[in-house]
Amino acid sequence: MLFVLILLFFAGFLTGRFLRTDWIRKYRVLIFLTFLLLFALGVEIGSNNDVVSKLESILLSSFAVSSFAVLGSFIFAIIFERVSKK
């Protein structure tokens, strides 16, 4: 399953790099695809018994890392949008 996700990521990267992708620039499509990716990641993690058994010990650190990643992505997106409009 993880190999399929990585393959899809690189397929999307190559599509965005070499083909005309004006239709992808809509926010609704990106939000839907992000939610779909998060769902797939949740399924992958939920099906891994090792991760589920160690969930209590890694819960706080994983929450902090994911929160800062989301916050950093949000801040970068705002800065990038303002810079690219000029």
The tens digit of pLDDT for each residue in 13-28 reads 777 777 766 655 656 6
Mark whether 25 and 47 lie in a shared domain: yes
Domain span at 2: 1-52
**Residue 1 pLDDT:** 60
> Residue 33: is its pLDDT beyond 80?
no
pLDDT tens for each residue of 39-85 = 888 888 788 888 778 877 887 887 888 889 989 988 988 888 888 87
Mark whether 79 and 37 lie in a shared domain: no
User: Is 54 strand, coil or helix?
Assistant: coil
Mark whether 42 and 66 lie in a shared domain: no
Mark whether 6 and 46 lie in a shared domain: yes
**Residue 23 pLDDT:** 59
Q: Which of 85, 86, 5, 84 is nearest to 44 (CA)?
A: 5
With a CB cutoff of 8 Å and minimum separation 6, the contacts of 52 are 45, 46
**Residue 7 pLDDT:** 79
